[in-house]
């Protein structure tokens, strides 16, 4: 789909022009046979975001990768939490970086989404990794942390067994303003920057051995996707901005046509059904080499969760 006019300022004009040129051309290399559906914050549509309940609901709906927002507490614990402040999604208030883990875990993180989720707590990154291990690949969206965040994340992933043979893939989303803080994680870990242009993509591959790159929906173009794939990178597409306008199938179809290996969504049920309809749904979990790993016996949290719509 052509980049919307109101978002064309986010990419160089040359790439907006190239989108018109390349939108009907083949993407370099063979398209992935299957596409991994990624649950944004678990599933923030059908359960309280970034909670164990959201992860379980997403799994039941068919997600095989989960995005975690991660930030650090005052006493040095990474938790799975999106906002800077606690008040939107919990019964508490205050800046997360000024609260201890013990204080945060007293908050109810589920009631805002309905009585069925009352008492849900904010999980630590370790809690969330242990719960999903063997069932999901993981995308860590790094929000905030101390100067030694890269070392902390590396230690957690090592200790939780996510670097062992046969363990699920973990990608780590590093925004432009966080890349210097996290760059030491690559290539040991799959660091995932966003696409910021052809030169940036080339630099990421050459200097940092990046393997995967994200493409935001509001700056989506086939020219950008072509450049990502031409550099030998896996494509991780985000579809949320179109979903706000109910353009589900348009978003999913263009992301699939562009060669995405991962598509992230707030409506995991819609995406799973679409991928089934084109026979490209990945039902297995990918490992560090981006290939399916041997399945393990599914683990369940024991939660009594409401069914999705």
Q: Which of 77, 82, 200, 208 is catalytic?
A: 82
Decide: 70 and 89 in contact? Cβ < 8 Å.
Answer: no
176: CB partners within 8 A, 6+ apart: 193, 194, 196
Catalytic (active site) residue 200: no
Active site residue 178: no
Classified as helix, coil or strand, 141 is strand
Helix (H) or strand (E) holding 18: helix 13-22
What phi and psi values does residue 275 have, to the nearest 5 degrees?
A: -65, -35
CA distances from 33 to 149, 189, 259, 262 (A): 35, 24, 9, 12
Q: Which of 40, 178, 189, 234 is catalytic?
A: 40
Any bridge partners for residue 213, and if so which? 235
**b (16+ CB within 10 A) / e for 113-142:** beeebeebbbbbbbebbebbbbbbbbbbbb
**Number of residues written out for the chain:** 309
Cβ neighbours around 98 below 10 Å, total: 11
Q: Which of the residues are catalytic? A: 40, 82
């Amino acid at each position: 789909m052509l980049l919307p006019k109101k978002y064309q300022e986010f990419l160089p004009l040359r790439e907006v022009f190239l989108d018109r040129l390349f939108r009907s051309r083949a993407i370099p290399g063979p398209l992935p046979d299957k596409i991994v559906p990624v649950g944004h914050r678990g599933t923030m549509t059908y359960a309280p975001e970034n909670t164990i309940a959201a992860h379980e609901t997403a799994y039941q709906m068919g997600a095989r990768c989960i995005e975690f927002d991660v930030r650090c507490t005052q006493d040095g614990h990474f938790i799975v939490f999106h906002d800077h402040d606690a008040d939107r999604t919990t019964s508490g208030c205050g800046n997360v970086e000024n609260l201890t883990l013990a204080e945060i875990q007293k908050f109810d993180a589920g009631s805002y989404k309905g009585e069925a989720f009352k008492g849900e707590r904010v999980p630590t990154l370790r809690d969330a990794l242990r719960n999903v291990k063997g069932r999901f690949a993981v995308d860590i969206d790094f929000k905030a942390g101390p100067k030694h965040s890269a070392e902390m994340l590396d230690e957690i992933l090592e200790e939780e067994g996510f670097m062992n043979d046969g363990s699920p893939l973990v990608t780590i989303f590093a925004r432009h303003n966080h890349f210097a803080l996290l760059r030491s994680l690559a290539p040991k870990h799959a660091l995932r920057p966003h696409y910021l242009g052809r030169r940036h993509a080339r630099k990421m591959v050459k200097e940092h051995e990046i393997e995967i790159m994200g493409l935001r929906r509001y700056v989506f173009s086939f020219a950008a996707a072509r450049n990502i794939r031409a550099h030998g990178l896996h494509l991780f597409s985000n579809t949320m901005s179109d979903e706000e306008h109910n353009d589900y199938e348009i978003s999913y179809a263009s992301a699939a046509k562009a060669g995405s290996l991962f598509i992230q969504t707030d409506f995991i049920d819609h995406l799973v059904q679409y991928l089934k309809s084109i026979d490209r749904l990945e039902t297995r979990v990918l490992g560090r080499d981006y290939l399916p790993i041997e399945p393990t016996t599914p683990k369940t949290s024991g939660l009594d969760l409401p069914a999705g719509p």
